[in-house]
């Protein structure tokens, strides 16, 4: 099982004001808020943590059938080389992120060793393939200009 999430950073800048009062308290744990506050680029850290939570949630939802996205119940840890993990109700999902100037893409897997074998295809409008479902991706994510498929 795989999960993935992509964040169009240009669109996120327009659509979300994460600096407004109490926003971070609703989505991020105290430890995650400390990561954001101490980051060289707080915007990037917000969207990195968000994409980690989303990609792990996609696996957890398919695994358990539970459709309850409570962002604070997904606890992220960020390691070097864009690796991390997300813990949800005693389940751990391992993540690998690709941080670019215009997007952040994260893949998640229940086993760390599976991350290296994941194939990723990222498309930017107008180059989204119309028939991408035919390729049977393990996980699909889209936001703004971007479509991300993992196999």
Encode pLDDT of 122-141 as tens digits: 999 999 998 999 999 999 99
Indicate whether 113 pLDDT > 90.
yes
The domain segmentation of the chain, as residue ranges, is: 3-116
Pairing of strands 83-88, 120-124: unpaired
11, containing H or E segment: helix 9-15
Q: Is the pLDDT assigned to residue 5 strictly greater than 90?
A: yes
Structure confidence at residue 64 (pLDDT): 85
pLDDT in tens, 33-92: 999 999 999 999 999 999 999 999 999 999 988 788 788 999 999 999 899 999 999 999
The correct CATH number of 3-116 out of 3.40.50.300, 3.90.470.20, 3.40.1010.20, 3.90.870.10 is 3.90.470.20
């Amino acid at each position: 099982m795989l999960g993935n999430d992509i964040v169009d950073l240009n669109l996120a800048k327009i659509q979300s004001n994460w600096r407004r009062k109490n926003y971070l308290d609703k989505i991020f744990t105290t430890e995650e808020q400390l990561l954001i506050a101490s980051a060289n680029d707080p915007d990037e850290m917000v969207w990195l943590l968000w994409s980690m939570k989303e990609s792990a949630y996609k696996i957890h939802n398919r695994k358990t059938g539970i459709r309850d996205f409570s962002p604070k119940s997904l606890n992220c840890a960020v390691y070097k080389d864009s690796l991390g993990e997300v813990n949800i109700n005693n389940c751990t999902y391992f993540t690998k992120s690709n941080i670019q100037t215009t997007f952040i893409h994260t893949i998640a897997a229940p086993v760390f060793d599976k991350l290296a074998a994941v194939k990723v295809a990222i498309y930017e409008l107008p180059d989204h393939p119309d028939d991408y479902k035919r390729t049977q991706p393990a996980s699909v994510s889209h936001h703004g200009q971007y479509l991300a498929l993992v196999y």
